[in-house]
Structure 1
Amino acid sequence: MHLLLTRPDPGPDADPLALALIAAGHRITHAPLLTVHTVGKLPSLAGVQGFIATSRNGLKAVAPLPEHAQSLPLLAVGPGTGELGRELGFRQVIEGPGTGRELAEIIRETIDPGAGALVHLAAETLAFDLKGALAGDGFEVRTEVVYRTDPVSTLPADATTALRDHRIDGVVLMSPRTARVYAKLAADGGLVAETRKVVHFCLSDAVARELCPLGTVKTVVARLPNSQEMLALIAREASDSV
């Protein structure tokens, strides 16, 4: 399949999802719809027992990590974030299946709230309020904004051309905000009719709901909100379309 991948530009690092899609035989057109800016640095770790990372971008914003930080547990929202944490040197990584709500439950089950604070490496906009969700259980969560994301103003020219020429089979959407930006830019660019000819691969139902401004478009949703399940979803759709 020819896929429009809307994830932010990974910078000098390769995007693991893009590499996996290419390895599976798919063609990729990159269309980053959010730009990531680092706005913070690694905070003080006094009284801290571990980190929470709800995206890879939060970890990238504070890398490279000092040795004493790597020795603390990392509570990662999903397998992709957990994998990056291990690459950055974390020796104890606890992974959730992909959402902040599910990660909060894992934290309740595995972490002692009396052992110290948890530092959440966050963006300026939170998809889920972990601090609020865990406060009633006695946890101290320090939300540290270490990066922000800004939407682009237009779809990239090659993405627009590929959609107009009906060369795109599917659009990969990994967050509600990305889907919201995509829907707006497609509508503003007069591409609504073209979006109805492609499959929208959505990480979650919340992502799919953001496509409502486009009217009736085909959406398929991953069984679990993580990259592995997105790859499986795309593989199933590609197999069905043969």
Structure 2
Amino acid sequence: MRVLVTRPRPDAERFAEELSALGHNAQVEPLFEVVFHADAKVDLTGVQALLFTSANGVRAFCSALAGHRPEDLSLQVFAVGDASARTAAEYGFTSIESAGGDVTDLTALVTRRLEPAAGGLFHAAGSKVAGDLKGGLEAAGFRFHRSVLYETREAAGLSAGLQAQLRHGEIDAVTFFSPRTAGSFVRLISAAGLEETLRTSLAVCLSAAVKERLEPLHWKSVLVAREPTQAAMLAVLDR
């Protein structure tokens, strides 16, 4: 199957490798570029745990904390999903738990594992956040600090090569990992006048919220992963 991967690099490239291992022909076209904030400041005073809601949050945190001390890497890490947890491990963190889901699952995991009196929580975030992680954890009594360490910038348009492929029906499936990416795809497709080119393509979505943003387009079918994980996305394409 010819599969288009729309998430930012390097997550797109990693997902493409997994698709290729399953026999798919993966093509990467990021709809957003991730830009770290060069002047970002990280203060971990009184923090008992780090919260990561994306792999890019891990990367941006480590970029902001260049020359980190060994004790920073020993802080407890709670990741929203397995991809974020895996990235944290790659960067050298030693105590990591994955909620294996969304922000609601992450909130529940943190409240089960930690006590508010033990210290604050630090969320390494992007300029756009989904869900109410702050509200849920503050309601449970935790001191919560969010630092915006990166932003994602939308692509100006679809590449000429991708537009030609869509016109010739050469994309069998398009994968979407966030509502924002899905909304961007709809806008870019409409701007290029390609709304009718997707009738032979599948849309593969991480969640129902992602699917909702794709409603303006006409697809062969819109599939939703059984749970919001990369493994579940791969399972949809491999069945």
How high is the TM-score relative to the length of structure 2? 0.93
- SS at 1:200 equivalent: strand
Gapped regions of structure 1 (runs ≥ 5): 237-242
Q: In the alignment, does 2:175 pair up with 1:172?
A: yes
RMSD: 1.5
1:88 aligns with 91
Is the partner of 1:171 in helix, strand or coil? strand
Counterpart-to-counterpart distance in 1, 2:116 and 2:146: 16
Q: Choose from 209, 212, 236 the match for 1:233.
A: 236
Aligned to 1:2: 2
Cα deviation per residue 1:115-164 (whole Å; 9 max; x = unaligned)? 11111000111111211111111011111100001111211222111111
Q: Where does residue 72 of structure 2 map in the other structure?
A: 69
Whether contact under 8 Å (1:77, 1:98) holds in the other structure is yes
The residue aligned with 2:155 is 152
Q: Which residue of 2 is the match for residue 161 of structure 1?
A: 164
Q: Deviations over 1:60-97 (max 9, x none)?
A: 11226621211001100001110111111111111012
Partner secondary structure for residue 81 of structure 1: helix
Provide the secondary structure at the position in 2 that maps to 1:63: helix
Give TM-score, length-normalised by structure 1.
0.92
2:57 aligned with 1:58, yes or no?
Answer: yes
Q: What is the CA–CA distance in structure 2 between the aligned matches of 1:133 and 1:104, rounded to whole Å? A: 6
SS of the aligned residue for 2:94 comes to coil
Which residue of 2 is the match for residue 35 of structure 1? 33
Distance 1:69 1:156 in 2: 41
Aligned to 2:216, the other structure's residue is in SS state helix
* C-alpha distance in 1 between matches for 2:41 and 2:91: 14
Letter in 2 for 1:232: A
Offset, 1:102: 1.0
| Alpha-carbon distance in structure 2 between the residues aligned to 1:196 and 1:75 | 40
Q: Distance in 1 between matches of 2:13 and 2:117?
A: 37
CA drift of 1:15 comes to 2.9
Equivalences for 1:70-219 in 2 at 5 Å?
70-215=73-218, 218-219=221-222
Which amino acid is 1:87 matched to?
E
Letter in 1 for 2:5: L
Q: Give % identity.
A: 36
Tell me how far 1:185 sits from its aligned partner: 0.8
